[in-house]
Structure 1
């Protein structure tokens, strides 16, 4: 059993699950240490790694360690003291972590695609709104312009008819005044002519009387 775990330490790990892979890596390190009869105190002294952190590593509880930079250093020193390949040990750790990192990446990609689809939908909706708004504005403007033109034509026609009516009334009034004036003039002329005829008649009568008187005196 120990030989199997020890061999796993220098073998590429490509686990399906991150947690299971990290446990296998920690178990391989613990098996290699025990095979060499190294106590944790000795490993801690030689690597400057605390016993608490060594236990976390062997238990596969890497999330309890300070950070990635520390973990890489711990694994390198631990593999060196055990006589294993430190680069392969770090690679196995990263392979295990990659399983965890791929899930958020897939989720991020899914969210990105979803966001992209949503943005496309929003963009199309906005474009459709402005297109519909533009068509409505154009229709409203044309209708308003047409109604305004019809109203202007009606007003112009009304003004023309009114002006024509006023001019006609004015012409009729002026003609009536002229006719009245002409009638008055005709009446005055007739009166003057009648007066003249009367004067001529009186003068003629006077002449006749004078002639009769003259003949009477002569006889």
Structure 2
């Protein structure tokens, strides 16, 4: 079988991984305001822009002020870039984030907050790349889409095997593995569980293999970390 496709055995192992992540998340998952049942799709999509290259705890710090001032796509689109920069400044990269979220809000406000449901159309939306497109489909349209970042990639690669291509966006095996992980009744919770497990247990530096119940099934854990994965 091609190295670019999941094997039947890998699919079975990912299914077991999903069950473990959900059980673990129910007890150990982190609590952030955008994970509340009261959080809207608007809030969750905006947060994904703010979270890029920033710790979740840092974004949580500006969450009340950001959504207090900009409670909707319309309010966000009406704000000046300078106003956005002032609110976003504490989390860093404020100029780039302000420009991206302003462009996204302007598009959404002109369409009553409704984004396209197709990947091709989403690729034409300002500030939307693969990751944000998946976030829009996940939170805005209820599709089972993975939020593929270095954390989810690290978890799956350690558990199964390293990807072949350097860019996680274009590695077909990794993309299929991430999609298989979240295809279930609660893809949002699985995404959050994978992110939290990577942050708290399967860390980039000093992974908690000794306390990880997946170690007996994890290729990286059983091999003592035989290859380098960020």
TM-score if structure 1 supplies the norm length? 0.22
Highest relative contact order (Cα 8 Å, sep 6+), 1 or 2? 2
Larger radius of gyration: 1
